């Protein structure tokens, strides 16, 4: 048994739920099983985007980020559903509880995946045996499939979990790199996006093996310090620990929305930005933080995307302040072209209880008056269930709805 647990090494799992949103919907409604299913934002709109799809749909070429219209052309029997985030969050919480039954060293990284360090779990069996039990419990108790990668570090565990889906268990040791990892195309390496892959191919780096053996100075010249970091990973080197507290280390809070149609209507833009600001405010209140930087994202009809950020003199946390900062940037940088997507992100965050507001003689009175107003609004919101001063078409617009945030990923600890 101890041969599986090296004295000076680690045994890391990466647990990755398979087609998570679609699988949750199938578990909730078994009549969907075996059918091509896609979960999409704005499924009734021509520009709705596929968030995830079942493996039955993927056989037809349906992919994440694909417009719904294109997905339906590829698969005429495709079932398209709106996401039900609360359902996914509940399933995620139960999944992480199962992982936590094995070890306390669990690091959620998103709603449907996480790392585990089982180095000290040798009394529970071999790593493959533990992985099989986890996989079986998740399938039997939640009716959800998952793949598990087993490796000596986080990077290799992540790569291993992608090698066999659905319901795969893959072991990837450093001695396996030459045969299992290095032949893979460079685009399949975790941490290499489309732009990075393009730059690497210019250096004639076609595979992960090419990256592992390429002159490091060449890589650093093109990719900076990230070039050396990627090469280390290609050679199986990753010293980052599994950190259960990492979920709390968020640097920004943001949200975005794809519009039902491209628009140049400034009034419509204002309305969308106000809704986005309300959602960001709700999440900031949930984490009890303020922001000193606000970023605006605009994606145009031709998919060209620009981001602009503004550093503020004071920390802010209200929807009105977030909207004002975002709209000022919109007013300055919009090129009058039709807009497809808008996003607002609060950055440079600081916890309220750790933040000392530096008030000078000129802004003290203004700040104090604002605090009274904010307190009154919070009191009315608590009493009536929504901010009476925000004119939203739907009261749920200000709720925390996105599943891509990390705010809730430690909920599983509240058993």
Per-residue pLDDT of 363-392, as tens digits, reads: 444 444 455 555 555 555 554 444 444 443
pLDDT of residue 65: 84
Let me know if 206 is a catalytic residue: no
Could you give the percent of the chain with pLDDT greater than 90? 66
Confidence band for 7, pLDDT divided at 50, 70 and 90: confident
Query: Partners of 107 in the beta sheet?
Result: 115
101 annotated as a binding-site residue: no
Q: Superfamily assignment of 1-172 in CATH?
A: Reverse transcriptase/Diguanylate cyclase domain (3.30.70.270)
**Per-residue exposure over 295-312, b if at least 16 CB sit within 10 Å of its own CB, e if not:** bbbbbbbeeeeeebbeee
Residue 405 has pLDDT above 60, yes or no: no
Reduced to 3 states (helix: H, G, I; strand: E, B; else coil), residue 206 is coil
Please report the pLDDT score of residue 4 as a whole number.
76
In angstroms, rounded to a whole number, what is the distance separating the alpha carbons of residues 190 and 186? 9
Three-class SS state of 200:
helix
pLDDT at 378: 53
Task: Give the pLDDT band of residue 194 (cuts 50, 70, 90).
Answer: confident
Assigned fold of 178-234: DNA polymerase; domain 1 (1.10.150)
Q: How far apart are CA 227 and CA 202, in angstroms?
A: 14
Model pLDDT, residue 2 = 57
Tell me which of 113, 129, 140, 266 is the catalytic residue: 113
What is the enclosing helix (H) or strand (E) of 96? Answer: helix 85-100
The mean per-residue pLDDT over the stretch 341-363 comes to 67
Tell me the C-alpha to C-alpha distance, in Å, between residue 102 and each of 119, 128, 145: 11, 13, 18
Terminal-residue alpha carbon distance, the chain:
32
18-32, 261-275, 283-297, 399-413: range with lowest mean pLDDT: 399-413
The answer to whether 67 and 47 have CB atoms below 8 angstroms apart is: yes
CATH of domain 250-413: 3.30.1490.100
Q: What is the pLDDT of residue 362?
A: 42
Q: How far apart are CA 317 and CA 363, in angstroms?
A: 17
- So what's the pLDDT on residue 44? 62
Q: Per the annotation, does 112 bind a ligand?
A: yes
In the predicted model, what is the mean pLDDT of residues 285-294?
A: 88
Domain coordinates of the chain in residue numbers? Answer: 1-172, 178-234, 250-413
For 258-285, the pLDDT digits (tens) are 998 999 999 999 999 999 999 999 988 8
Predicted local distance difference test score (pLDDT) of residue 345: 95
What is the model's pLDDT at position 355?
54
Q: What is the pLDDT of residue 152?
A: 96
Q: What is the mean pLDDT of the chain?
A: 86
9 or 383, higher pLDDT: 9
Higher pLDDT, 392 or 30: 30
Pairing type for strands 289-300 and 339-351 reads antiparallel
Instruction: Tell me what pLDDT residue 245 has.
Output: 84
Q: Is the pLDDT of residue 395 over 50?
A: no
Reported as a single tens digit per residue, the pLDDT across 98-138 is: 999 999 999 999 899 999 999 999 989 999 999 999 999 99
């Amino acid at each position: 048994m101890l041969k599986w647990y090296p004295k000076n090494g680690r045994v890391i799992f990466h647990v990755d739920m398979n087609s998570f949103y679609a699988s949750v919907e199938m578990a909730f409604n078994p009549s969907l099983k075996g059918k091509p299913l896609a979960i999409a934002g704005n499924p009734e709109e021509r520009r709705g985007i596929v968030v995830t799809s079942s493996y039955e749909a993927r056989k037809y070429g349906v992919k994440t980020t694909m417009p719904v219209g294109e997905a339906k052309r590829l698969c005429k029997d495709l079932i398209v559903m709106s996401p039900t985030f609360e359902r996914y969050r509940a399933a995620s919480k139960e999944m992480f509880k199962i992982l936590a039954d094995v070890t306390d060293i669990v690091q959620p990284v998103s709603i449907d995946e996480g790392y585990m360090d089982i180095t000290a779990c040798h009394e529970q069996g071999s790593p493959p045996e533990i992985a099989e039990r986890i996989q079986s419990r998740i399938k039997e108790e939640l009716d959800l499939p998952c793949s598990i990668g087993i490796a000596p570090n986080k990077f290799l565990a992540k790569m291993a979990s992608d090698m066999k889906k659905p319901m795969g268990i893959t072991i990837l040791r450093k001695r396996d790199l030459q045969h299992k990892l290095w032949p893979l195309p460079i685009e399949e390496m975790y941490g290499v996006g489309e732009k990075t892959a393009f730059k690497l191919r210019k250096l004639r780096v076609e595979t992960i093996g090419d990256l592992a053996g390429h002159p490091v100075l060449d890589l650093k010249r093109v990719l900076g310090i990230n070039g050396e970091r990627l090469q280390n990973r290609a050679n199986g080197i990753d010293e980052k620990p599994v950190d259960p507290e990492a979920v709390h280390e968020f640097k920004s809070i943001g949200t975005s929305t794809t519009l039902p149609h491209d628009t140049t209507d400034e009034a419509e833009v204002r309305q969308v930005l106000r809704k986005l600001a309300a959602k960001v405010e709700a999440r900031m209140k949930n984490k009890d933080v303020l922001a000193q930087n606000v970023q605006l994202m605009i994606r145009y009809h031709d998919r060209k995307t620009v981001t602009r950020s503004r550093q503020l003199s004071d920390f802010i946390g209200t929807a009105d302040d977030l909207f004002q900062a975002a709209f000022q940037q919109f007013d300055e940088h919009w090129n009058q072209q039709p807009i497809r997507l808008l996003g607002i992100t609060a950055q440079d965050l600081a916890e309220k209880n750790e933040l000392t507001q530096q008030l000078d003689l000129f802004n003290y009175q203004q700040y104090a008056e604002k605090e009274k107003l904010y307190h009154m609004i919070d009191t009315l919101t608590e009493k009536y269930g929504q901010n009476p001063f925000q004119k939203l078409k739907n009261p749920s617009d200000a709720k925390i709805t996105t599943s891509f945030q990390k705010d809730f990923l430690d909920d599983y600890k509240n058993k």
